[in-house]
Chains A and B, each alone.
Chain A
Amino acid sequence: MSHRFSDVAALKDELAGVDYLSDEGIAGVVYLADRLQKPILVEGPAGTGKTQLAKSVSEITGARLIRLQCYEGLDEAKALYEWNYKKQLLRIQAEGGSDEDWTDLSDDIFSDEFLLTRPLLEAIRAEEPVVLLIDEVDRVEVETEALLLEILSDYQVSIPELGTLEAKQIPLVFLTSNNTRELSEALKRRCLYLHVDYPDMEREKTIVLTKVPDITENLAGQVARVVRSIRQIELKKHPSVSETLDWAKTLVLLGVEKIDEQTAASTINILLKYQSDINKALKELATADGVTP
């Protein structure tokens, strides 16, 4: 089996090529996932680019991205496969007059033709390379997680009427979780684990520079600095990377060159979404001494 990536450094460069700035940890784990043929469980706060990672990887490998968005109440029929019940009925009716044997007929209506593939099965059966993204897996109930286990460990799906369908190629699987609940041990054991946290200041600055057109290096540095300071305050919700980018874009549009207190105060609602957080952050930032962490 050929590998998708030659080494970690090259992978990192390739990711940077599609504007995804990874670090040692991220690139290293993706590289390992390819070599070990294991899924990656990506955890971390909202808005740190977990989903984007899967998208970027599919972009550099030229693979099709198949996405399964998880939600409460997701079941087999929506995640794995479903029998096309209406078509089966039609088939039976069409045969109504003839004296075809029932066993032939039942064999016939439980065949590929009547199978509706859903994202998981689709990823398994795809001929071309695919990247499978199982998004926000923490939203499904613990019981539903079990649906994923077979596909994650053996890359196969068992359908009682058809037998076991094995993967034609090993897809690269990403599971993302916002950590709203503890995932089961069984699921975690099958995956490589990657925790994506807020980037450090240098990386955030580079991200702002790549993603926001027309921003000066000086302003990007200031943005990263202010955001770093805000993240040190104890808040309900810290600004995510995407919010940082929005803020930087706003500042560029407003033609700001230097962030001072007024500018920060009038635009901080882009970074923080709770009134109590905004008040607290403004109060904190206005005190020179700060809280020593």
Chain B
Amino acid sequence: MTVTDAAADATPKGVGDPILDLLNGFIVQLRAAGLPVSLTENLDAMQAIRHVPLEDRETFKYALAATLVKHHNHWKAFETVFEVYFSLRGDDYQIGDELVELPEMDDDEQGDQQGSGDQQGGGGENLTPEELAEMLYQSLMRGDQQMMRGVARQAVKRYAGMEPGRPVGGTYYLYRTLRNLDIDGVLERLLEQEQNEDGEAPSDFEQRLARDEYQSRANQLQQEIEAEIRRRLVADRGVEAMAKTLRKPLPEDVDFMHASREEMASLRKAIWPLTRKLAARLQRKRRHGRKGPLDFRRTVRASLSYGGVPAEPKFRNPRPHKPEIFVIADISGSVAAFARFTLHLVYAISGQFSKVRAFVFIDGLDEVTHMFEGVEDINEAVHRVNTEADVVWVDGHSDYGHALGVFWEKYGNEIGARTSIMILGDARNNYHASESWIIKAMNEKARAVHWLNPEPQSYWDTGDSIVGEYAQHCDGTFEVRNLRQLEAFVDNLA
């Protein structure tokens, strides 16, 4: 079916307008969360929901996901928006008896009706804390989804102390609930139980497996609790407000400088495809330039068979392009988070190119190439760089001028015409001398010098930042604060 056809009957037959409005609202929320939803995809989604039973929540969710989310990294963002937006729709998902009427999106007052009081939760009656603790223990032991949901509802009602209109985030409620439930304590009890049953002490290996098992169930429970809190918050504040508070940057927009541990882990995974892309780009360049420069001698020789007319020009074989990459990275405190990321990047790049040399500096400079060589575990390499590299010259505050001076003196001669130099740092020089002539001299010898700056462009050249001074001698200065910008840089480079 062509796009125009789809557009013509985009209004699904048999599905009323309310659904369309609902879906439109949902797509607005998705776009607000940063997901790139195109018009075609929007139409596809409308087509898709004609074919799935609307009462089947999971299938409905997958139908929307298949048409609207085209990137695995975006799944989490989609799920959050979906859970918030449709949290109060569907039978299992209503809050209490008083809320049979679904609250309208713009109806903020509705939430007031449901106090944190004593209406019936989804599963289970009002329980004493002891009973609840026992239920928690049982549900974790059996891994019973239904029971966990019941526990989650009860726990949130009892412990979270949620009050309508109270301006605190969901994390606060989550913290309160979890503290009261004491899941860790229950886990310990479960593990001890396991030991007693066997009669003999289990090996470390078995304990480990059991712990993973219970931990994953506990995580499941925590998710249930989060979902329950979210539902109540949505009922209180309305969909739009909640969607806004829960909005997190997409993985490619996460700032390197302020990435959390989990975000860092997912960034690390994303670096590999990026370096492969870089390598592929450079390689393709190689393939495209199939012919080298004109080979005068052979052309004249060939011309003899045409009576001296150079009818058949001969070319030299192209010289294979073997890029050499020098990475010079600032690892001082001000860019510590970025530096960690940088080192991962260096490690990834060195797997793709034959000649990669890495240097790190604060106010002194040291070569760390050998620390990455033959190392299987990147974390070990990063640890060695941080502890062993000799980068402090005087006081351990960034001094770009001195570090560049050392580089020029020690390694300047090794820069050749095939060398690409990447300098990573914020150029906050603590008011030392810039020595920017070194960059100029480097650029004269090297193929290219690029400067990657992890600071937002608006901060450049403010305070002690002197990136502008260096930039005039570089081939390009780039703001690289997130994966998206790094990808753009890679695209530009090749």
Contact = CB atoms under 8 A, between A and B. Distances in A.
Contact of A28 (B41, B59, B216, B273): B59
Interface stretch (B17-25, B149-157, B205-213): B205-213
Given A229-B209, A229-B212, A293-B215, A181 B276 contact: yes
Interface string A17-45: 00000001100110110011110110110
A274 interface: yes
Given A24-B59, A31-B51, A232 B212 contact: yes
Interface stretch (B64-72, B114-122, B402-410, B432-440): B64-72
Given A37-B1, A261-B203, A289 B276 contact: no
Interface in B346-377: 376-377
A278 to B, nearest CB: 11
B215 A8 contact: no
Using C-beta atoms within 8 Å of the partner chain, give the interface range for chain A. Answer: 35 or more
A225 B213 contact: yes
A98 interface: no
B26 interface: no
Contacts of A188: 70-71
B376 A274 contact: yes
Contacts of A228: 212, 216
B67 A288 contact: no
B284 A141 contact: yes
A153 interface: yes
Nearest to B59: A28
A189 interface: yes
Nearest to A201: B216
Interface string B265-290: 10000000100110010001000000
Contacts of B205: 260-261, 264, 285-286
Using C-beta atoms within 8 Å of the partner chain, give the interface range for chain B. Answer: 35 or more
Contacts of B62: 24-25, 28-29
Interface in B45-59: 47-48, 51-53, 56, 58-59
Interface in A30-71: 31-32, 35-38, 40-41, 43-44
A40 B44 CA distance: 13
A28 B49 CA distance: 11
Contact of A8 (B59, B69, B204): B59
A288 B47 contact: no
B126 interface: no
Contacts of B75: 195
Interface in A150-197: 153-154, 179-182, 185, 188-189, 191-195
A177 B216 CA distance: 29
A226 interface: yes
B193 interface: no
Contact of A285 (B38, B53, B208, B219): B208
B343 to A, nearest CB: 16
A43 B66 CA distance: 12
B376 A276 contact: yes
B148 to A, nearest CB: 15
Given A24-B59, A28-B63, A43 B72 contact: yes
Contacts of B219: 293
Contact of B376 (A44, A153, A275): A275
Given A181-B276, A195-B72, A274-B376, A32 B48 contact: yes
Contact of B204 (A28, A195, A280, A287): A287
B387 interface: no
Given A28-B59, A28-B63, A188-B70, A36 B47 contact: yes
A123 B212 CA distance: 47
Contact of A38 (B44, B71, B204): B44
Contacts of B128: none
Nearest to A258: B206
A229 B376 contact: no
B40 interface: yes
Contact of A192 (B67, B212, B215, B377): B67
A28 B212 contact: no
Interface in B231-266: 265
A180 B70 contact: no
Interface string B195-233: 000000001111111011101100100000000000000
B2 interface: yes
A97 interface: no
Shortest beta-carbon contacts, A-B, top 7: A276-B376, A288-B207, A261-B205, A28-B62, A188-B70, A288-B204, A35-B51
Given A28-B52, A38-B44, 16 more contacts: A24-B58, A25-B65, A29-B63, A35-B48, A35-B51, A36-B1, A36-B51, A40-B66, A192-B67, A195-B75, A225-B213, A261-B204, A280-B377, A286-B205, A290-B208, A290-B212
Interface of B: 1-3, 36, 38, 40-41, 44, 47-48, 51-53, 56, 58-59, 62-63, 65-67, 69-72, 75, 203-209, 211-213, 215-216, 219, 265, 273, 276-277, 280, 284, 376-377
